[in-house]
Amino acid sequence: MQYELRYRVLEPRRQTYQNVIDRLGDQPASRYLEATLDVEPTENFHYRPTWAQDRELYDERFSALRLTDPYSYTDPRQYYYTPYVTQRAALHDEFGKTLGYLEARDLLAKLPEAWHTVLTSVVVPLRHYESGAQLVSVSGARFAYGTSLEQCCTFAAFDRIGNAQMLSRAGIAAGGGTAEALKEAKRQWLDGEHLQPLRRLTEEIMVVEDWAEGLLAVDLVDSLVYPLLYQHLDETALLGGAGAYSLVAQHLATWYADQRKWLDALLTCWASDPERGEDNRTALTRIAATWADRARDAVASLTEAIDQALPQAASTTVLGDLADAHATAWTKITGGAA
Amino acid sequence: MSVPTKKAASKPARKLPLKERYALLTRDLDWEPGYVDREQLFPHTRYEGIKIHDWDGWQDPFRLTVDAYYKYQVEKDKRLYAVLDGFAQSQGHLSLSDASYLNAIKLFIQGVTPLEYAAHRHFAYLARHLEGPAPRFAALCQSVDELRHCQTQIHTISNYNKYYGGFHSWSKMHDRVWYLSVPKSLFDDAMTAGPFEFLISISFSFEYLLTNLLFVPFMSGASFNGDMPTMSFGFSAQSDESRHMTLGLEAIKFLLEQDEGNVPIIQDWIDKWFWRAYRMSALVAGMMDYMLPKPVMSWREAFELYFEEQMLGGLFPDLEYYGIQPPRHVNDAIAEKDHLSHQVYKILHNFSFAAAFTTKTPDEAHMAWLAEQYPDSFDQVYRPVWEKHRKIEADGGRVFFQGLPQLCQVCQVPMAFTEPGNSAQISFRRSTFRDETFHTCSDGCQWIFEREPEKYVQAWLPVHQIYRGNCGGPTVPDVLAWYGIQEGDNGEYTGSPDQLAWAAWHSDGDDKAV
């Protein structure tokens, strides 16, 4: 049986903020919408930036990719600050538990030699790649037009530091609790032949002026690296007696699945914009033409190194399939122009 | 490819020292670029004249890894949103001290929340453009925090917006309404400057030097006036703010220690940003002394405690070691502490027909409090003004200033401040630039103007823009509509929709109230 609690009801004058009412009518709005729609200033800026004198403080011209209405894009995850940190606290909590388990048994340090090699010379050095990806993403946090989009870039930027820290902590564990593996990983990142194409590519993406182009160039690398290292190798590890690797990899795969959600929705939104769609598809095609092959080559250099240690992983073959599938998906989004 | 051996595995595991572990998880992620030029990667760090010899000289003021950050923040947000939900469900707004209190919160969401957002965006700029990985990471954390503050404020105030006027169009208003160009132009000024000046203006001057005068009075006002949600927000933001203050202090020390040539540049920025932020605090002064039904402390008392004692008495003697002097024009601020809030509220009272809040003449009890707080100025100068208003209002009138005020070219506050030491004489400064005359309200603003006239001539001055026809049309109703002000948001509090609804909700036995 339910009891009947009487409480005071007052007639509200409005259900939400006026800008939300203007877009969606006077009805209760989610916290995501209230905290996102029209938050970024749009007009009457007082001074021109000394660091970009031909731009306004918020200016859609910071990228070739634009939306007629920036709020035609919303995050399918509906992340504002609180749900974002809630999700990520859970991710990092799970990762911490995994790592605690692995550390207590010294399992990463005791990986089969070939796996240990792959972890310390291919995977852990990517903490620097994550750091580069952070720099690229945070550029979107500042220069993207519209709160719904920049907010995703902000969270992505913070995520990349989180990813870098997950990889670093795995590196510390792989080094038996010391900084040795991280130092070695950094040497590899700076000098290891197999990592130079990716390092070079990362640095060149970091200086791209168009924040969205940079973000997508990173995504072109991500869309090969993540499925390869954290899904495909995960499966191989499970079959090959390297369960500890799989335990680490799962968390990065979880992150990547989440990252895909907002980026895929964004690509679709750009490509299908009623007024800017055509220009956007042209820009997307150009971006893919500039970066996709380079991403593939950079990752191929990693898979060659992996195949040397773990021929059973057949990483280079898998990379080929991934790149082809990705090119097809991209072509679909850009309407065949690529 | 070299294959690292597994010798580490045979060693007993040891724990890395905390400081080293933190460095490995943050600044060690960085590397010296080899395929692109450093200057190409960080193009904005040279043009301001600041010299940094060793970015690694940056001391991390706090050591928070990402996983710990998420964990703390989730806990804080859980508690905050529980308060917001409970308050909304129990119609907690009915137990505020008075509906007129909400005028302070209207000013807050229109004037301050957008600044949180601006800080969020531009700390992301620092997270991209500072060369050192440690300050970049600190800036990234602050950027994410500021987004939190902006969004939790929107959610905190969302419930008031359902029942009261003036909250509904805060972001449009921040872009358009005259008195909001004061805070907006300040942040625009900081954001359009280079990365180091932004750091000094916001991290140091705003977050450290003046935060107790700019931000905290709203939170304290909330606690005195029954506004649980805003107070909870304030407490919830406190640990973030203390990180930001620490960052501000580390930033200034780091820049001063890096090169002696930095000292005069930073002194100039402290001089500029003290005055800029102080002028904006005039709006807060008016709020503290006139908008809170239950006042916390007077502007004068807050200024003496938080600025004169803590900053001039505590901080600046420390900074003297680096060759830094107290801000230029600080004596003008001290000289007008008995007058600032009264002069500002007079402006707001006169022009609230064009504001998204309401004003009222202080009643007898309020005036008695003001007289006690301002023994050297209130009865002498300001009581007669309010008594005149009371008389007119007793006869059914209400005075609003007809016409538009002239604005200071720098701070954009209407030109109604008086000369330091002479409260009968309006302070009025004139400068010429490219054969045009520009007006400023004080020596401080004039000095700022003449330092960078090419910047301040760009200002979007709301009054000029109205005259130019850029604000919706030639009449007051045209402009108000363009501002997004709705019927009853503005003008006199007594008889306003907020006041009438409040009275109805609090009248016993009235059916409409239940």
- Residues B225-277: tens digit of each pLDDT: 999 999 999 999 988 998 999 999 999 999 999 999 999 999 999 999 999 99
Average pLDDT, integer, range A242-259 = 97
What pLDDT is stored for residue A335 in this prediction? 80
Domain that holds residue A298: 77-333
What whole-number percentage of chain B has pLDDT above 70? 96
What pLDDT is stored for residue B14 in this prediction? 62
What pLDDT is stored for residue B214 in this prediction? 86
Q: Is residue A35 part of a domain?
A: no
The structure tokens 């004039």 sit at: B446
Q: Which residues of A touch B11 (CB under 8 A)?
A: 176, 178
Confirm or reject contact between B41 and chain A (CB < 8 A). Answer: yes
Q: Is residue A42 part of a domain?
A: no
For B423, phi then psi, to 5°, come to -80, 5
Across the interface, do B140 and A134 touch by the CB < 8 Å criterion?
Answer: yes
Q: Are A315 and A303 in contact (CB under 8 A)?
A: yes
What pLDDT is stored for residue B249 in this prediction? 92
CA of A82 to nearest chain B CA: how many angstroms apart?
Answer: 7
Q: What is the ipTM of this complex?
A: 0.96
Selected residues 166-205 of chain A with any CB under 8 Å from a CB in chain B: 168-169, 172, 174-182, 184, 186, 188-190, 192-194, 199-200, 203-204
Q: Is residue A39 part of a domain?
A: no
Q: Which residues of A touch B158 (CB under 8 A)?
A: 16-17, 31, 34
Selected residues 466-485 of chain B with any CB under 8 Å from a CB in chain A: 484
Quick one: pLDDT band at residue B292, thresholds 50, 70, 90? very high
What pLDDT is stored for residue B6 in this prediction? 45
What pLDDT is stored for residue B514 in this prediction? 36
**A95-99, B59-63, B211-215, B363-367 — which is least confidently predicted?**
B59-63
What chain A residue is nearest to B21 in terms of C-alpha separation? A179
Residues in chain A: 338
Q: Is residue A84 part of a domain?
A: yes
Q: Which residues of B touch A89 (CB under 8 A)?
A: 67, 70-71, 73-74
What pLDDT is stored for residue B63 in this prediction? 85
Confirm or reject contact between B13 and chain A (CB < 8 A). Answer: yes
Average pLDDT, chain A: 96
Average pLDDT, chain B: 94
CA of A332 to nearest chain B CA: how many angstroms apart?
Answer: 33
Residue of B67, B411, B487 for testing the chain A interface, max A β-carbons within 10 Å: B67
Selected residues 240-299 of chain A with any CB under 8 Å from a CB in chain B: none
Q: Is residue A9 part of a domain?
A: no
What whole-number percentage of chain B has pLDDT above 90? 89
Q: Is residue A53 part of a domain?
A: no
What pLDDT is stored for residue A280 in this prediction? 97
Quick one: pLDDT band at residue A336, thresholds 50, 70, 90? low
The yes-or-no verdict on residue B213 having pLDDT over 80 is yes
B58 DSSP assignment: P
Q: Structural domain tally of chain A? A: 1
Q: Is residue A64 part of a domain?
A: no
Rounded distance between C-alpha atoms, residue A172 and residue A164, angstroms: 12
Quick one: pLDDT band at residue B1, thresholds 50, 70, 90? very low
What chain A residue is nearest to B66 in terms of C-alpha separation? A162
Q: Which residues of A touch B239 (CB under 8 A)?
A: none
What pLDDT is stored for residue B400 in this prediction? 94
Ramachandran quadrant class, A25 (left: phi over 0; alpha: psi -120 to 50; beta: rest): left
CB-based burial label for A317 (10 Å; 0-12, 13-18, 19+):
exposed
Quick one: pLDDT band at residue A207, thresholds 50, 70, 90? very high
The structure tokens 């992301």 sit at: B124
The yes-or-no verdict on residue B2 having pLDDT over 90 is no
If DSSP codes are grouped into helix, strand and coil, which group holds residue B436? Answer: strand
Residue in A10, A138, A177 closest to B14 by CB: A177
Q: What is the CATH number of the domain that holds A276?
A: 1.10.620.20
Q: Model's pTM, two decimal places? A: 0.96
The yes-or-no verdict on residue B4 having pLDDT over 50 is no
According to DSSP, the residues that pair with B440 across neighbouring strands are B429
Query: What domains appear along chain B, each with residue ranges and CATH number?
Result: 55-513 (1.10.620.20)
Across the interface, do B192 and A57 touch by the CB < 8 Å criterion?
Answer: yes
Across the interface, do A81 and B144 touch by the CB < 8 Å criterion?
Answer: yes
The yes-or-no verdict on residue A104 having pLDDT over 50 is yes
Rounded distance between C-alpha atoms, residue B110 and residue B128, angstroms: 28
Average pLDDT, integer, range A137-165 = 98
Q: Which residues of B touch A109 (CB under 8 A)?
A: 6, 8-9, 13
Q: Is residue A58 part of a domain?
A: no
Residue in A16, A19, A164 closest to B172 by CB: A19
What whole-number percentage of chain A has pLDDT above 90? 93
What pLDDT is stored for residue B60 in this prediction? 82
Which has more confidence, A334 or A237?
A237
The yes-or-no verdict on residue B135 having pLDDT over 90 is yes
Q: Which residues of B touch A131 (CB under 8 A)?
A: 29-31, 133
What pLDDT is stored for residue B8 in this prediction? 44
What pLDDT is stored for residue B62 in this prediction? 79
Across the interface, do B47 and A50 touch by the CB < 8 Å criterion?
Answer: yes
Q: Which residues of B touch A121 (CB under 8 A)?
A: 1-4
What pLDDT is stored for residue B367 in this prediction? 98
Residue of B128, B160, B239 for testing the chain A interface, max A β-carbons within 10 Å: B128
Residue in A14, A141, A168 closest to B25 by CB: A168
Three-state secondary structure of chain A: CCCCCCCCCCCCCCCCCHHHHHHHCCCCCCHHHHCCCCCCCCCCCCCCCCCCCCCCCCCHHHCCCCCCCHHHCCCCCCCCHHHHHHHHHHHHHHHHHHHHHHHHCCCCCCCCHHHHHHHHHHHCCHHHHHHHHHHHHHHHHHHCCCHHHHHHHHHHHHHHHHHHHHHHHHHHHHCCCCCHHHHHHHHHHHHCHHHHHHHHHHHHHHCCCCHHHHHHHHHHHHHHHHHHHHHHHHHHHHHCCCHHHHHHHHHHHHHHHHHHHHHHHHHHHHHCCCCCHHHHHHHHHHHHHHHHHHHHHHHHHHHHHHHHHCHHHCHHHHHHHHHHHHHHHHHHHCCCCC
DSSP string for B237-265? HHHHHHHHHHHHHHHHHHHHHH-TTHHHH
